[in-house]
Amino acid sequence: MRPLSIQEVVWQAADELMAQGVRPTVANVREITQRGSAGTINDALKEWWQQLAKRVALQQQVQAQIPEEIISSVQHLWQQALVAGEAAFNDFKQQAEDKVIKAEELKIAALERQQRAENLVQTLEAKLTQSQNSERLLQTQLATEIALRQQIEQQLSQSKQQSSDFEQQKNQLEKEMALLAAQYQHQEQQLSEKNQYLERDFLEYKSNSQQQLAVYQQNLQACEIRLSHSDLQLLQAQNELRLLQQQLEATVQENALLKRQTANVGLSKRDALKAKLQRY
């Protein structure tokens, strides 16, 4: 069995409504058929009304005994149905157009909301990118600060080590200066003892000179030789004393220079030793 066309379905629904005493319209026919657009149903209804008029005319021919009033009423009803159908179709069409316009407005509003959402997403993405760039920049700055801090700590450690080395050099030089001072004092004591010895010998020689005048006259040449030898020893002792005094002065100057070197941390150990060697 072939499926009924939309026209046949509409005509069947219109016949059912007419049999129930209800005027067929696009809306109530659509409720029965559940298929077809408003325009298709309206066109089918127009044809149905035309066919209905033909059927009525045919019935008039067959049933001539029907009163004229009934025929006129049916024709009037048919005209009213056509007018009502047109009005219902126009009303349904206007509602459909209103719904279309409203749907277009909703669509435009939705597109605008979508565009605003996309703009907001782009703005948020730009802010996120900027935040990520700022975070990377801060991480780079932090790494630079950490490296700089490590470098400063290393330099500070080196400075402390250099200061410790200079302090050790200072202590060593102070020990050496104390040793030189002790040596100078010992040599000075030896020189004093030697001078006392020579002075005692000279006094003894003077006291015994009168008694040994004859001996000295005989041994004058030997005494002069020994005196010359004593003078040479005295001169040598004076030279040694002068040399010790120079060494003491050099040591004092070296101590002063060491103190200045200790105050000036920038002078290296190599330069200090070089200056020390040059002074000697």
Residues 181 and 270 in one domain: yes
Q: Tokens at residue 49, please?
A: 């009304």
**Does residue 264 fall inside a structural domain?**
yes
Within 10 angstroms of residue 61's Cβ, the number of other Cβ atoms is 7
Residues 172 and 270 in one domain: yes
Provide the residue range defining the domain that includes 81.
6-99
Give dist(CA 228, CA 222) in Å, integer: 10
**Does residue 267 fall inside a structural domain?**
yes
Domain-ending residue, one of 74, 99, 124: 99
pLDDT: which is higher, 252 or 191:
252
Domain count within the chain: 2
Give dist(CA 51, CA 10) in Å, integer: 13
Give dist(CA 246, CA 233) in Å, integer: 20
Residue 61 predicted with pLDDT over 70: no
Within 10 angstroms of residue 10's Cβ, the number of other Cβ atoms is 27
**Does residue 160 fall inside a structural domain?**
no
**Does residue 145 fall inside a structural domain?**
no
Mean pLDDT of the 74-91 span: 67
Mean of pLDDT over the chain:
78
Mean pLDDT of the 177-201 span: 79
| Among candidate residues 28, 19, 30, the one with its CA nearest the CA of residue 52 | 19
Q: Look at 36-40, 41-45, 195-199 and tell me which has the smallest mean pLDDT.
A: 195-199
Residue 63 predicted with pLDDT over 60: no
Q: Specify the DSSP element, H or E, that contains 232.
A: helix 220-263
Give dist(CA 260, CA 257) in Å, integer: 5
End-to-end CA distance of the chain: 135
